[in-house]
């Protein structure tokens, strides 16, 4: 690598592509002797719909936070046990993943590299909401590495054949 990275951010959402990015981010952090921030953004926009005035319950937010924390702890444990890497912090934020990943989190934690999966959404979700990865790639305050391959075999995942 041309540049040494000191503080790496990997946003995760539970998707296969995000976990692929997590694997590579851990390896990059090891190679650069860097700190790794693992971030899960709970997208509060998903609760907005026809009833814009409706507030989500505290119980729902609490459960989502608990689930997120357990997921992040499992990733941290995996990095420690499988990759012998312990310089990992995990974070939970609430709001728009696009803005938080590209700007807000970087401002707070001074990350110099974002490693993220190509996309965690299906085609319909990308059409309706726009790709978080695409937004981050265009607006991030740091370098962005978009992961498409596995750490082990470095092969691009095979795409499903489309029928027209």
Residue-wise pLDDT tens digits, 98-143? 999 999 999 999 999 999 998 655 555 555 445 888 899 999 999 9
Is residue 40 a contact partner of residue 92, using CB atoms and an 8 Å limit?
yes
Is residue 109 a contact partner of residue 9, using CB atoms and an 8 Å limit?
yes
pLDDT score recorded for residue 156: 42
Domains in the chain (CATH in brackets) are 7-44+55-147 (3.40.50.620)
pLDDT score recorded for residue 119: 66
Record the tokens describing residue 74, joined without a space.
């499992």
Helix (H, G, I), strand (E, B) or coil at 110: coil
pLDDT score recorded for residue 3: 65
Angle at 22 between CA 161 and CA 86, to 5 degrees: 160
| pTM score | 0.82
pLDDT score recorded for residue 123: 57
Rounded-to-10 torsion of CA 83, 151, 146, 157: -150
């Amino acid at each position: 690598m041309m540049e040494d990275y000191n503080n790496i951010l990997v946003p995760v959402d539970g998707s296969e592509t995000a976990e692929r990015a997590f694997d590579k981010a851990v390896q990059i952090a090891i190679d650069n002797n860097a700190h790794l921030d693992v971030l899960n953004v709970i997208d509060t926009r998903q609760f907005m719909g026809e009833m814009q005035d409706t507030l989500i319950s505290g119980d729902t937010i609490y459960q989502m936070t608990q689930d997120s924390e357990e997921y992040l702890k499992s990733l941290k444990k995996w990095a420690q046990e499988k990759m012998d890497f312990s310089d990992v912090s995990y974070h939970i934020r609430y709001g728009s993943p696009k803005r938080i990943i590209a700007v807000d989190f970087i401002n707070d934690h001074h990350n110099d590299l974002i490693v993220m999966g190509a996309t965690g959404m299906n085609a319909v979700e990308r059409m309706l909401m726009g790709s978080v990865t695409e937004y981050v790639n265009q607006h991030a305050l740091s370098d962005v590495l978009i992961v498409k391959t596995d750490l082990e075999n470095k092969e691009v995942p095979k795409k499903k054949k489309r029928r027209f």
